Amino acid sequence: MRPPDATWGVAIHATPERTEAEELALVLRAVGIDHAIETLEERGVVQHLLLVPRRYVPAARRELTRYLSENPVAEEAPPPAVRPAPRRIWPACALTAVVVLLAYVAQWGRILPRDPEALGRLDAGRVRAGEWWRCLTALSLHTDVPHVAGNLVFGLAFGGFLAQLVGGGVAFLAMLVGGTLGNALNAFVQQPEHLSIGASTAVFAGLGTLSAISLRLRSHLRYGRLRRWAPLAMGLALLGLLGTEGEHTDVAAHAFGFLVGVALGVPLTRQARRGGGDTLLQWVCGGLALGLLGSAWLAAWWHGG
């Protein structure tokens, strides 16, 4: 590459991003067009100029036009208006912990006249027969203390991060809906005798939603493909590490929960850009989530005989 010289070449492209200038310089190098990159700074504003000899200007512009039409460079955009607010974590986390622990006490405290596990566990055959509520009620049942503790710890971790982005009520509802839909999909791919309980499907739905939002918030930046897809890749890695351990782990449920969460994260990105939305929205979504879970248990109790 020749040293930059104002009398030597013509600037055919200017950009504040050094990586963009170097990327376009590689295009010219590939077709044998001599070039140089000159960096100018004026009043704190930096510009990187791509220079070519005058006789090569038409050819260079043709090559760059062709390359940019096939590989458009994203326009510079301001950072998304995401203002994580830790204070939004605590109401949702406290509510989630209370619901999970009360359900566990009711399940194993022998305080109810019927067996909650028999009424509410995910039974693939019964779900296919129309007992839709089991996709919801199964999320609030657990086999033992380590089971409920693990789901509570990871659920509060992923849900807490998600609550910082979209608000506590929205995060609670998204995880519940994601877990429910994940259970429904799982019920229709498993054998009819398949049984399952646990909030882990909702936990991985929260992880999927968090991964998708993180991916989309980065998508406007000029990162390489590897860095741009890093949030989703990290989510898949966590799914592999945490979602396939244990003898009785329902891997399909975890995978479906994660995939549904990714799908939910696409529309929720706008919510994250707004900083979580207003307080009324959070309370409405949190109340709707509790209403859905309560309605499912009422249906289970009513149809349980």
* Architecture category of domain 86-303 in CATH: Up-down Bundle (1.20)
Q: Select from 1.10.10, 3.40.1350, 3.30.70, 3.40.1130 the CATH code of 9-70.
A: 3.30.70
> What pLDDT is stored for residue 229 in this prediction?
55
Q: Residue 61: which residues within 8 A CB-CB, separation 6 or more?
A: 12
Tell me the residue type at 199.
Answer: A
Rounded Cα–Cα distance for residues 168 and 88 (Å)? 6
Domain ranges for the chain, please list them: 9-70, 86-303
> What pLDDT is stored for residue 73 in this prediction?
54
- Could you tell me the pTM of the whole model? 0.66
Query: Quick one: which of 199, 115, 213, 197 has its CA closest to 163?
Result: 213
- Please name the residue that has the structure tokens 């995060």: 171
Please, which residues bridge with residue 45 across strands?
42
> What pLDDT is stored for residue 233 in this prediction?
66
Rounded Cα–Cα distance for residues 169 and 75 (Å)? 34
Query: Quick one: which of 109, 108, 82, 117 has its CA closest to 218?
Result: 82
Rounded Cα–Cα distance for residues 124 and 192 (Å)? 5
pLDDT means over runs of 10, the chain (305 residues): 54 88 89 89 81 90 86 53 54 81 85 86 94 94 88 87 88 94 94 91 91 74 48 64 59 90 91 77 91 93 78
In sequence order, which ranges of the chain are alpha helices (DSSP H)? 18-30, 57-70, 89-108, 116-120, 124-128, 134-137, 145-166, 168-189, 200-218, 225-228, 230-242, 251-273, 279-303
> What pLDDT is stored for residue 279 in this prediction?
82
Instruction: Show the tokens assigned to 196.
Output: 């399952």
> What pLDDT is stored for residue 185 in this prediction?
95
CB of 142 closer than 8 Å to CB of 107: yes
Helix, coil or strand: residue 111: coil
